[in-house]
Amino acid sequence: MKARGFTLIELLSALLILSLLAVMSFRGLGAVLDARDQVAQETEKWKRVAAFLSRFQRDVQLSAPRPLRAAAQRLEFSRFATAEGVDAPRRVGYELNASREIEILLWPGPDVAPDAQPARYAVLSEVAQFELQYLDTKLAWVDAWPGSERDPPLPRAVRLRLVLTSGEELTRVFALR
């Protein structure tokens, strides 16, 4: 009876096939890990955007019927306290800074001297454009508020348009009354 075994060519062929499978598996695993990292970055970006929009909505909807001033890309208004007592009444502003961050500007109270300097905090980074429009009593969107001396202290709504540096564009409308 003749002894049976594998030849050297059969062993090398099997090793080659296993090596190719290992390389393909490694590249596939690398692609999965890269995709996971990309999804995590996108998820974090949209969480930051959602948190900013939520804060902006809360602040705008708590705005007090006092003069609302807009200058260039800045929104500034007085805000009531929340019903839960979490936030105190104060003057609030939002603007886009030179570093492409939206900053919230917080003054210590709702009535402040014109030259009082606010505390500034970045609330959303990587913003290419920050545009605001206001809905007047004639239901027309205007770029500045107050548009005329007859305008009430608050517009009916504020339309916010954000363009992120990654190219995404968001438009949201926040009702004030």
Q: How far apart are CA 104 and CA 92, in angstroms?
A: 7
Residue ranges of the chain with pLDDT lower than 50? 68, 70-73
Q: What pTM value is reported for the model?
A: 0.75
Output the pLDDT for position 46.
Answer: 95
| Structure-token pair, residue 175 | 């009702």
Output the pLDDT for position 147.
Answer: 62
Output the pLDDT for position 71.
Answer: 45
- 87 burial (CB, 10 Å; 0-12 / 13-18 / 19+) is middle
